[in-house]
Structure 1
Amino acid sequence: ISYGSADPIFNNRLEFPSFYRTIPNELSEIDAIMSLIRHFGWKWVGLIISDDFTGHRANERLQNLMNKDGGCLAFLIRLKNWSEIKSSKVHFTVIYRDIEQTIYKTTASVIILFFNLQYMASLNLFFAHNKMPKKIWIVSSWIVKELRYSQMQVTFNGTLALSFQQGEIPGFKQFFYSLNPYTYQRDTLFSEIWEMLFSCRFSDLVPGKTAKSPLPKCTGNETFDDTVLESYGTFNYRIAYGVYTAVYTMAHTLHELYGTMTRSPKSAESLHMYFKQWQFVQYQCSEPCKPGFRKAKVEGAPSCCYTCVLCADGEMSNITDAQSCTKCSKYEKSNSGRTSCIPRDINYLSYDDHLGSTLSSISVTFSITCAVILGIFIKYRETPIVRANNRYLSCLLLISLMLCFLCTLLFIGRPTQICCLLRQVTFGIVFTISVSSVLAKTLTVIIAFNATKPGSKLKKYVGTQLAIVLVIVCCLGEIIISIVWLASNPPFPEDDTLSDADTIILLCNEGSGCFFFCIIGYIGTLALLSFIAAFLAKDFPDRFNEAKNITFSMLGFCSVWGAFVPAYLSSKGSRMVAVEIFAILSSSAGLLGCIFIPKCYIIFLRPELNTKANRII
């Protein structure tokens, strides 16, 4: 287990199956330097390397990578080891002068230093005696810790340096504060470190040691002040942390192996298997993507570098490092964590909903009211107020209004094929009967009034026959539209999975919106004609004249259906159905209230008005 060997030869698992390390190999450092160059878009850089395998590998790999990106080297300097320079016939100042001139002459603003640790003496000597121009320096991980001279610290100020992962060693801080030289009297190295830290000298603590300078005597009771502690930062270390990781990895592996041992002996392969369970520092470009996320390539980054993107709504991933998210079916949605697909909610106007139960109750109540009023009119059919304005049309209107209220029940509940076919057609026909009956009643008043004038030709139209013919003709028009609609493009049940990502809307597709609005338009036209006719007849002198009441009822009717169109088009799901039901109930209730409630009032509360003497014709 190595904490310092970066040679890429140990990547070969066939030749070195049992070799592990707690630092990245040199190729990883080279790739990281190339990532920096690529990130900043540098295409023209200089390279200074050690004249050995480490430097040559770095040179070859960097040039290959830069050529792919369209970059190239401004210069290449191979710095020899100090031992080779000393043995050379050429004086080292001459060698260094040539290197210095190359650096000064180059137009490259970025210079890369990649060295083996054994070449640091040569590197230190060169930069300590030569003042360098301002450049952007990129150095490998070993170099920063070995900058020994003040001139080098000036030159490399602001350098981009790679570094190993650091970490806190548990218990080391407490150990550090408990250090005492008396505990390590036989350790010469420890006493020297103590003297360096506190600028003092031992004279008698270590046998044979004598003071070499007038520094104060070390007592062994010195304590670390803030100045000393600054050099230790937050007790996070890099090289030492690698050593700590290696030792504890082996310790945990042996402990794991020992805890599972049986009577049969364990082989070296068994130790290797347990050892692999303990991973070292993660040297990945990106953290693994958790379930619910997918990999997304980072533009300009290596293939191993990616970012994790949350799966879109309606997609999921249940594995780590998913390349893509899986789309849920149209009947499912993704959960909040995007890790699985769950059934989507179902939306339609149900009898179990508060809105659905309320509307159905109102519908039944009004239909019962119509039936009661119809019974009243049948009972009092011979009275003047019932006989006025055609009692047969009044009964027909009450029956059609009762059916109008009841047809809203076809709109409530889970849409089926038969309900989708019948509900709009049924609504259109029974509403047409209602409005055409109102129109016929209004025309009956106009014809009856004008027939009393001398020489009028309208006398032959007085009676119930014209009114019935008018209702039949108007209904035939609505029936023809409905038949053509059902034959060409009939309504059908549909699952709307696109309007809402979390909900499936069950609805009736009208097949043809054109035919649907033709029905609404046809009924609206009849209502408008009824309103005009009633408005013209509102001042006729008859105490039982319904024209005023019809005028108000048609005004309310037209207002409701005029507001219906934009409200219907802006709604969706169960709300869209509720809008149409509300329009049917409110317009039908307006007709019922304006036309028949006043008659019931006179029948029960003002019977003295329900006489022939009160009619003025």
Structure 2
Amino acid sequence: MVSAPGYVNAEITASVCQLRSVSIHGYSRKGDINIGGIFSLYIGEPASHILFTELREAALCKRVYEKLLALIFTTEEIQNDPELLPNVTLGYVIYDSCSAISRALEGTMRLLTGQRKTIPNYNCQALSSVVAVVGDSYSSTSMPMARLLGLYKFPQISYAATVMALSDKHQFPSFLRTIPTDLLQSIGIVHLLFYFGWTWIGLLSDSSDYGLQGSLIVKEELVKAGACIAFSETIPAVYSEMKIQYISDIVRKTSANVIVIYSTDVALYPVMEVIALNNVTGKVWIASDGWAQSYLFSKNEFLRTLQGTLGFLVRRGDMSGFHEYIYSLNPYNNPDDIFLKMFWELVFDCKLHILDKTNMNITEESKICSGDETLEGMKLDFFQFTDLRYTYNIYNAVYSIAHALHDMISCRRGEGPFYNGTCAFMYDLQPWQFFYYIKNIRFRNKESEEVFFDVNGNPPGLYSILNWQVTPENTFRYLDIGRFDSTAADNQKLAVNLSEMLWNKGHEKVPQSLCSESCSAGYRKAPQPGQPICCFKCIMCSQGEISNQTDAVACVKCAKDGWPNERQDKCITKVVEFLSYEEPLGAALAAVSTFLEMATVAVLTIFIKYRHTPIVKANNRGLSYLLLFSLMSCFLCSFLFIGCPTHKTCMLRQATFGIIFTLSLSCILAKTIVVVIAFSARKPNSNMQKYSDPRLPKFLAILCTIVQTIECVSWLIVSPPFPDENISSVTGKIILECNEVSPVAFWCMLSYMGLLAVVSLVVAFLSRKLPDSFNEAKFITFSMLVFVSVWMSFIPAYLSTQGKYMVVVEIFAIVSSGAGLLLCIFIAKCYIILLRPEMNTKDYVMGKGTFKNGKD
């Protein structure tokens, strides 16, 4: 049965010693089961408009009134549903908290006790007057309510209280809400900031738990992700003109173009009023849901300052039939609805002529409401039927209670919390028992949105992102340009439609908010001492390093086969360098070596063919053959230096070169000593006669060569050369070379060859004037001069070159010195043999017969 509608209005009597108080208004329509509601239907003026000596009555807020109507509308809609609660009549008991904690607590006590006298732990009824409470609008009033209701595990569902502390089930065990917690909103704001690349952020918050906790999470998430806070200020709880001017100056002077404000509209208004007065423009304001769509900032003075603001607001929904319900309202049809009476008189500026105790102040001057007034078609923006957000949350809250009642009555959710596994009758219901059902509900509403509460009593985080745009009529329109869904995948949580966005004046495209300009690729960030991490200098990467992204913290080295390009933003493959046959230099050296090899073969052929002639037999022709063979090998060993180095060529090239050239020098030294011994032995009583053994030259040549062979073999055994990739000698190149491993062994080998060359030069020089017509010592002297000159020039040239040019220098030294020996020693002999045979006689060779050497 439905009890008769009743109006509840209690005046707190003021005595001489009591503070002035405002009356508490309430309205009820009782049913079998009642839902309680606490709404902040009145709103006061901003603090900057109220003197501290005054206490003004607040005015009914038209836009908040629709939330109360949402509870009544949803209750009636459920009542007409034949399946949800078919045999149960839902009623409601509603009180206005007027945004005051004391009023919210007084209304809560009345709901708990069912009495006009709010006496704790006292209830003359078997049950509370309600099974659950919907409300309140603000976190500041919802928290004290939740503490009180939590003592009894009495279910409370808030539609607008977002402060994170309410998720603590130890402090607020029976608190639930249909609006996401500030934690998710703060994370969404950070996602939005990084979506636009903003890393230099200003923070402003009010002094409530809502502002302080929300801004703290934003700060922590920003710092964790690498952004920086340009400033962080708190709006004072008590109006302070000095503090507000200080905040305004910081906002005006800061280099940060993006400022996040976590505050309620009433607390923010005095600060924004001064900021607008100082003509601050060009900033991007990020609004929390506390002021993201507030009518307080719809005045012309805020248009230039707040244009382009981005606001986070809970997602909107649709309540089918809601606007028809509101348009059908008439106070004459609902004479007990005190809130409708006040609303009607405010909207139509008239007085209702309803004869009851609540309306005895009608005067003759008052305009009487005829009762024919209608809300439909009015241009005044009382209700926003296309943008229902908090109202939609109330809709879901009431349906949550209804579904919980349905589950309880139907004995769903298992056996429930009742004694002996039974289901309780609704008239024998305790709050903690009903809370079991309501916290576990899960259903889809008429919009197919899934409604449920997590373990902390919170719904999923679903937000709309609003863009404040100035219309031609000089008002703000709040365009929905994006969304944030906390339940989506990381790369799909945020979606923004940039094409529909408008920014503040001076920004045609996305504004930047950076302490330092981004470092382009090829540079790295260098932190500045005493500055936040976002304030840095850009330094070019060091040689051999790159950065291939903007704002790189550090440069990275290229791989072994890579090298930075000129911009140092990517690695390019190094040029592989070695002396190849395909390149002109390698081909030329190979051609010269081939030609000299053929020339040496030709000389050897001539000498073999004319081996019985005196000029060939002179001065030991066996040494001449051995010398020509060694020169042939010298020219051939140059091919070991051309081409890509391999393990075999690296092992052979230096050792082969050293041994063969040592053999050549040993032969020359032996030939020189043979000449000296031959001329000295013909003197009477000369001691040189005992050294005139024809085997001595060969023995000397072999002995000198064996010494070098031992040294080279030892080198190959102890520290064998190997092919290597030299990446450090020449910038941007990989030099394929033979690593000699032991430079000491290499230079010892050359030193030994140098020693033989010098001794040969000295001996040949001393014997250059021996009395023969064909004095070979002269030619050996010239050849040794060429040889020593070439290799003396080789040393500085070899040490001053890198890469393949070191190989070129060594091949050139080998070829040129070998060519010098071939030409200086053998060209004159070949000339006589081929072109002047008349000179190829014993008499000519022995210098008019004075030199006789019958054996070679």
Show the counterpart of 1:56. 243
Show the counterpart of 1:436. 666
What residue identity is the alignment partner of 1:274? N
Taking the TM superposition and a 5 Å limit, the aligned residue runs for 1:297-376 are 297-376=527-606
Report the CA distance between 1:118 and its aligned residue: 5.2
Report the CA distance between 1:560 and its aligned residue: 1.0
Does the 8 Å CA contact 2:765/2:781 hold for their aligned counterparts? yes
Quick check: 1:566 aligned with 2:796?
Answer: yes
What residue identity is the alignment partner of 2:698? I
Tell me how far apart the structure 1 counterparts of residues 826 and 245 of structure 2 sit (CA, whole Å).
100
Report the CA distance between 1:336 and its aligned residue: 3.3
Does the 8 Å CA contact 2:469/2:478 hold for their aligned counterparts? no
Quick check: 1:452 aligned with 2:682?
Answer: yes
Does the 8 Å CA contact 1:344/1:504 hold for their aligned counterparts? yes
Tell me how far apart the structure 1 counterparts of residues 538 and 716 of structure 2 sit (CA, whole Å).
53
Deviation track 1:380-419 (CA, whole Å, cap 9, x = no partner) reads: 1111111111111111111101101110110111111111
* Gapped regions of structure 1 (runs ≥ 5): 1-8, 30-48, 64-114, 120-139, 146-161, 167-237, 258-268
Report the CA distance between 1:256 and its aligned residue: 9.2
Note closer, same or farther for the CA distance 1:28–1:507 as it changes in structure 2 (3 Å cut): farther
SS in 2 for 1:515: helix
Report the CA distance between 1:495 and its aligned residue: 1.0
Does the 8 Å CA contact 2:672/2:764 hold for their aligned counterparts? yes
Does the 8 Å CA contact 1:366/1:589 hold for their aligned counterparts? yes
Show the counterpart of 1:410. 640
Tell me how far apart the structure 2 counterparts of residues 569 and 591 of structure 1 sit (CA, whole Å).
25
Which range moves more in the overlay, 14-23 or 600-609? 14-23
Q: Which has the higher helix share?
A: 1
Report the CA distance between 1:473 and its aligned residue: 0.8
Does the 8 Å CA contact 2:548/2:569 hold for their aligned counterparts? yes
SS in 1 for 2:791: helix
1:387 aligned to 611, 617, 639, which one?
617
Tell me how far apart the structure 1 counterparts of residues 646 and 721 of structure 2 sit (CA, whole Å).
10
What residue identity is the alignment partner of 1:422? L
Quick check: 1:494 aligned with 2:724?
Answer: yes
Report the CA distance between 1:275 and its aligned residue: 5.2
Report the CA distance between 1:300 and its aligned residue: 2.9
Report the CA distance between 1:375 and its aligned residue: 0.3
SS in 1 for 2:724: strand
Deviation track 1:152-203 (CA, whole Å, cap 9, x = no partner) reads: xxxxxxxxxx98479xxxxxxxxxxxxxxxxxxxxxxxxxxxxxxxxxxxxx
Note closer, same or farther for the CA distance 1:535–1:271 as it changes in structure 2 (3 Å cut): closer
What residue identity is the alignment partner of 1:393? L
Report the CA distance between 1:141 and its aligned residue: 9.5
Show the counterpart of 1:75. none
Note closer, same or farther for the CA distance 1:274–1:373 as it changes in structure 2 (3 Å cut): same
Quick check: 1:513 aligned with 2:740?
Answer: no
What residue identity is the alignment partner of 1:510? E
Quick check: 1:284 aligned with 2:475?
Answer: no
1:587 aligned to 791, 806, 817, which one?
817
Note closer, same or farther for the CA distance 1:395–1:56 as it changes in structure 2 (3 Å cut): same
User: How many pairs does the alignment contain?
Assistant: 420
Report the CA distance between 1:142 and its aligned residue: 6.3
> What is the RMSD computed on CA atoms of the aligned residues?
4.3
Tell me how far apart the structure 2 counterparts of residues 529 and 249 of structure 1 sit (CA, whole Å).
104
Taking the TM superposition and a 5 Å limit, the aligned residue runs for 1:93-242 are 143=278, 164=282
Show the counterpart of 2:496. 273
Quick check: 1:14 aligned with 2:201?
Answer: no
Tell me how far apart the structure 1 counterparts of residues 628 and 477 of structure 2 sit (CA, whole Å).
91
Tell me how far apart the structure 2 counterparts of residues 327 and 270 of structure 1 sit (CA, whole Å).
36
Quick check: 1:469 aligned with 2:686?
Answer: no
Which range moves more in the overlay, 331-340 or 471-480? 331-340
Tell me how far apart the structure 1 counterparts of residues 510 and 183 of structure 2 sit (CA, whole Å).
17
Report the CA distance between 1:62 and its aligned residue: 11
SS in 1 for 2:496: helix
Report the CA distance between 1:460 and its aligned residue: 3.7
Deviation track 1:574-609 (CA, whole Å, cap 9, x = no partner) reads: 011111111111111111110000111111222221
* Gapped regions of structure 2 (runs ≥ 5): 1-162, 164-181, 206-235, 251-269, 285-303, 310-466, 483-491, 502-508, 852-856
Show the counterpart of 2:651. 421
Does the 8 Å CA contact 2:518/2:550 hold for their aligned counterparts? yes
Q: What is the TM-score normalised by the length of structure 2?
A: 0.44
Deviation track 1:185-233 (CA, whole Å, cap 9, x = no partner) reads: xxxxxxxxxxxxxxxxxxxxxxxxxxxxxxxxxxxxxxxxxxxxxxxxx
Tell me how far apart the structure 1 counterparts of residues 672 and 187 of structure 2 sit (CA, whole Å).
105
Does the 8 Å CA contact 1:254/1:271 hold for their aligned counterparts? no
Q: Which has the higher strand share?
A: 2
Higher gyration radius (CA): 2
What residue identity is the alignment partner of 2:523? F
Does the 8 Å CA contact 2:524/2:553 hold for their aligned counterparts? yes
Tell me how far apart the structure 2 counterparts of residues 377 and 346 of structure 1 sit (CA, whole Å).
45
Tell me how far apart the structure 2 counterparts of residues 313 and 523 of structure 1 sit (CA, whole Å).
41
Note closer, same or farther for the CA distance 1:525–1:287 as it changes in structure 2 (3 Å cut): same
Quick check: 1:613 aligned with 2:843?
Answer: yes
Report the CA distance between 1:324 and its aligned residue: 2.3
Show the counterpart of 1:265. none
Report the CA distance between 1:239 and its aligned residue: 6.0
Note closer, same or farther for the CA distance 1:25–1:611 as it changes in structure 2 (3 Å cut): closer
Note closer, same or farther for the CA distance 1:301–1:444 as it changes in structure 2 (3 Å cut): same
Report the CA distance between 1:427 and its aligned residue: 0.5
Does the 8 Å CA contact 2:201/2:513 hold for their aligned counterparts? no
Does the 8 Å CA contact 1:50/1:116 hold for their aligned counterparts? no
Tell me how far apart the structure 2 counterparts of residues 529 and 535 of structure 1 sit (CA, whole Å).
10
SS in 2 for 1:596: helix
Report the CA distance between 1:247 and its aligned residue: 4.2
Tell me how far apart the structure 1 counterparts of residues 666 and 527 of structure 2 sit (CA, whole Å).
69
Taking the TM superposition and a 5 Å limit, the aligned residue runs for 1:396-407 are 396-407=626-637
Note closer, same or farther for the CA distance 1:325–1:18 as it changes in structure 2 (3 Å cut): closer
Deviation track 1:93-134 (CA, whole Å, cap 9, x = no partner) reads: xxxxxxxxxxxxxxxxxxxxxx95756xxxxxxxxxxxxxxx
Deviation track 1:504-531 (CA, whole Å, cap 9, x = no partner) reads: 1111111111111111010111111111
Note closer, same or farther for the CA distance 1:241–1:541 as it changes in structure 2 (3 Å cut): farther
Show the counterpart of 1:70. none
SS in 2 for 1:14: helix
SS in 1 for 2:524: strand
Tell me how far apart the structure 1 counterparts of residues 799 and 731 of structure 2 sit (CA, whole Å).
20
Tell me how far apart the structure 1 counterparts of residues 630 and 579 of structure 2 sit (CA, whole Å).
25
Tell me how far apart the structure 2 counterparts of residues 272 and 458 of structure 1 sit (CA, whole Å).
106
What residue identity is the alignment partner of 1:304? C
Which range moves more in the overlay, 542-551 or 15-24? 15-24
Tell me how far apart the structure 2 counterparts of residues 581 and 270 of structure 1 sit (CA, whole Å).
69
SS in 2 for 1:505: strand
Tell me how far apart the structure 2 counterparts of residues 118 and 311 of structure 1 sit (CA, whole Å).
48
Identity %, equivalent residues: 44
What residue identity is the alignment partner of 1:56? K
SS in 1 for 2:517: coil
